[in-house]
Amino acid sequence: MEQFQQITIIGVGLLGASLAKACHRRKLVETIVGFGRNADTLKRAELQHVIDRGTTDLKDAVAEADLVVLCSPVGAIVPRFLEMAPHLKPGCIVTDVGSVKAMLVRDIEPALPEGVHYVPAHPIAGAEKSGLDAATVDLYEGARCILTPTAKTDPGALERIRKFWQDVGMQVQLLDAEEHDFIYGAVSHLPHVVAFALINTIGQIKTSNREDILSLSAGGLRDITRIASSDPVMWRDIFLANKEHVLDLIGRLEETLGHIKDLISAGDGAALEECFKNANNHRGKLVGQEEE
């Protein structure tokens, strides 16, 4: 038997539509309702059997839902939740796919109606592409999903949501929301800042002979800037929602850059070599752990 009768997915983009596909494939729910602002997208999602029913009416979308998954960009999650809250039925569980958690917990928990539960989730899945057409049935498969319950989180709801993400194919792990935001600020948000900044710095460089120097680049630049193709709206929201940690982490990177600059400036070859050996080691740990 399905764990949930009706699941409503708010936002039928890459993450929402991929989740719908996975739920259907794995027969996790009876009915999938999709909410979005664009009726054409919802219609296409219906025709492709990604969702069973689409609606642009939020009340209609959530009124009968046993599970609501907020798949909007991080900045839209709280407003969307506040708008739907009065229409949620008792016993409904709300989760989300937001990459930043503390802000969501702070704004959503106090606004939960009686009998409605919230279990914050961050499935570590994504791609540079976005939108319904980029969705795949296996986007979440084998990946990690972080849940950040608080002292107020209902234990029963936590267990059901843990099982839900596991059933989608994910490895579920619990973290404190603030710790989550700091850690993902470091391993995910900071690299995106860097990729955006690097390609913008290089992209605007001209020489007296050349309007554009990107065409002379080698493979290294392509790889290091891959995530600079990521969705501008999604990342705008993430950086703003995780402002304090992201600013702190950019500051740390600036310190490291400043240190390398000093070593180059001073011609300190030995210290530079040491610094890059450290980088080799950290990178080795990263690759080793990911291959496990």
Question: Could you say which residues in the range 47-76 bind its own copies, by CB under 8 A?
Answer: 75
Query: Does residue 120 touch its own copies according to CB under 8 A?
Result: no
Binding marks (x or -) toward its own copies, 134..163, rule CB under 8 A? ---------xx-x-----------------
Q: Considering only residues 23-52, where is the footprint of its own copies by CB under 8 A?
A: none
Query: Does residue 126 touch its own copies according to CB under 8 A?
Result: yes
Whole-number minimum distance, CB 148 to its own copies, in Å?
13
How far from each other are the two terminal CA atoms of the chain, in whole angstroms?
34
Residues in CB range of 28: below 8 A, 6 or more apart? 2, 3, 4, 7, 22, 164, 167, 168
Rg of the Cα atoms in the chain: 22
Whole-number minimum distance, CB 204 to its own copies, in Å?
8
Token pair for residue 91? 């016993």
Identify the helix (H) or strand (E) that includes residue 29.
strand 29-35
Amino acid identity of residue 277, one-letter, is: K
Using the rule CB under 8 A, give the single segment among 36-44, 77-85, 161-169, 184-192 that binds its own copies. 184-192
Using the rule CB under 8 A, give the single segment among 11-19, 104-112, 148-156, 243-251 that binds its own copies. 243-251
The binder of its own copies chosen from 124, 134, 158, 172 (CB under 8 A): 124
Token pair for residue 215? 């065409």
Query: Does residue 165 touch its own copies according to CB under 8 A?
Result: no
User: Angle CA(189)–CA(194)–CA(196) in degrees, nearest 5?
Assistant: 95
Q: Considering only residues 84-113, where is the footprint of its own copies by CB under 8 A?
A: none
Shorter beta-carbon distance to its own copies: residue 172 or 272: 272
The binder of its own copies chosen from 39, 47, 82, 247 (CB under 8 A): 247
Beta strands in 36-155 (DSSP E): 53-55, 67-70, 93-96, 117-119, 121-123, 144-147
Query: Does residue 252 touch its own copies according to CB under 8 A?
Result: yes
Distance CA 269, CA 283 (A): 21
Query: Does residue 174 touch its own copies according to CB under 8 A?
Result: no
Token pair for residue 220? 């290294």
Q: Considering only residues 187-226, where is the footprint of its own copies by CB under 8 A?
A: 187-188, 190-205, 207-210, 212-226
From the list 4, 51, 33, 49, the residue with the least C-alpha distance to 165 is 4
Using the rule CB under 8 A, give the single segment among 21-29, 88-96, 157-165, 251-259 that binds its own copies. 251-259
Whole-number minimum distance, CB 217 to its own copies, in Å?
4
Whole-number minimum distance, CB 153 to its own copies, in Å?
18
From the list 85, 90, 129, 87, the residue with the least C-alpha distance to 109 is 85
